[in-house]
Amino acid sequence: MTAEIRTSAEDVLAPKIRGQWRAILSRVVRTKRGATGLALTAVVVLVAIVGPFFSPYSPTALVALPFQRPSATYLLGTDALGRDVLSRVLSGGWLLLCMALAATILGVCIGAAAGISAAYIKGRADGLIMRSADVLLAFPQLVFALLLVSIAGPKLWLIVLAVALGHAPQVARVIRAAALDVSERPYVRAVEIQGVPRRKVMYSEILPNLVTPLMVEAGLRMTYSIVVMAGLAFLGFGQAPPDPNWGIMINENRVGLQSNPWAVVVPALLISLLTIGTNTFTDAVARVAIGVERQPVELTTVVAGGQE
Partner 1 sequence: MEVLTSELAAGPEPSIEIRSRKHPVLALASRRVMQGLVTVFLVSVVVFLATEVLPGNAAYSILGHSATPESIHKLELQLHLDQGIVAQYWYWFSGILRGDLGTSMSNGQSVTALVSARFLNSAVLVLLAGFFGTLVGVLAGAIAALRRDRPFDHALSISSLALTALPEFVIAIGLVLLFATNVFHWLPAISLLPPGTTPLSRPHVLVLPVTTLVLVIFPYIARMMRAAMIEALESDYVEMARLQGISAKRILFFQALPNSIAPTIQVIGLNFLYLAGGIVVVEYIFDYPGIGQALVSAVNNRDIPVIQFIVVVLAAVYVVVNIVTDVVALIGSPRRRYAQ
Which residues lie near partner 1 (CB under 8 A)? 122, 126-127, 130-131, 134-135, 137-143, 146-152, 173, 177, 180, 223, 226-227, 230-231, 234-237, 247, 250-251, 254, 257-258, 261, 264-265, 268, 271-272, 275-276, 278-280, 283, 296-297, 299-301, 303-308
Which of 58, 74, 57 is closest to 66 using CA atoms? 74
| Cβ proximity to partner 1, 25 vs 265, nearer residue | 265
| Cβ proximity to partner 1, 24 vs 145, nearer residue | 145
| Cβ proximity to partner 1, 5 vs 142, nearer residue | 142
Please, what is the minimum distance in Å from the beta carbon of residue 52 to partner 1? Answer: 23
Residues 6 or more apart in contact with residue 173 via CB below 8 angstroms = 115, 130, 133, 305, 306, 308
| Cβ proximity to partner 1, 9 vs 41, nearer residue | 41
Which backbone phi and psi does 62 adopt, to 5 degrees? -85, 110
Which backbone phi and psi does 271 adopt, to 5 degrees? -60, -45
Which backbone phi and psi does 159 adopt, to 5 degrees? -65, -45
Contact 277, 44 (CB under 8 A): yes
CA atoms in the 13 A half-sphere facing the CB of 241: 4
Please, what is the minimum distance in Å from the beta carbon of residue 1 to partner 1? Answer: 26
What is Dmax (Cα atoms) for the chain? 83
Please, what is the minimum distance in Å from the beta carbon of residue 222 to partner 1? Answer: 11
| Cβ proximity to partner 1, 91 vs 141, nearer residue | 141
- Length reported for the chain: 308
CA pair distance 259, 256, nearest whole angstrom: 5
| Cβ proximity to partner 1, 166 vs 190, nearer residue | 166
Contact 63, 82 (CB under 8 A): yes
Residue 14 has what DSSP assignment?
A: S
SS (H, E, C) 183-202: HCCHHHHHHHHCCCCHHHHH
Residue 42 has what DSSP assignment?
A: H
| Cβ proximity to partner 1, 156 vs 196, nearer residue | 156
Please, what is the minimum distance in Å from the beta carbon of residue 173 to partner 1? Answer: 7
Please, what is the minimum distance in Å from the beta carbon of residue 278 to partner 1? Answer: 7
Please, what is the minimum distance in Å from the beta carbon of residue 247 to partner 1? Answer: 8
Strand partners, 83: 62
Please, what is the minimum distance in Å from the beta carbon of residue 3 to partner 1? Answer: 32
| Cβ proximity to partner 1, 196 vs 235, nearer residue | 235
Please, what is the minimum distance in Å from the beta carbon of residue 206 to partner 1? Answer: 17
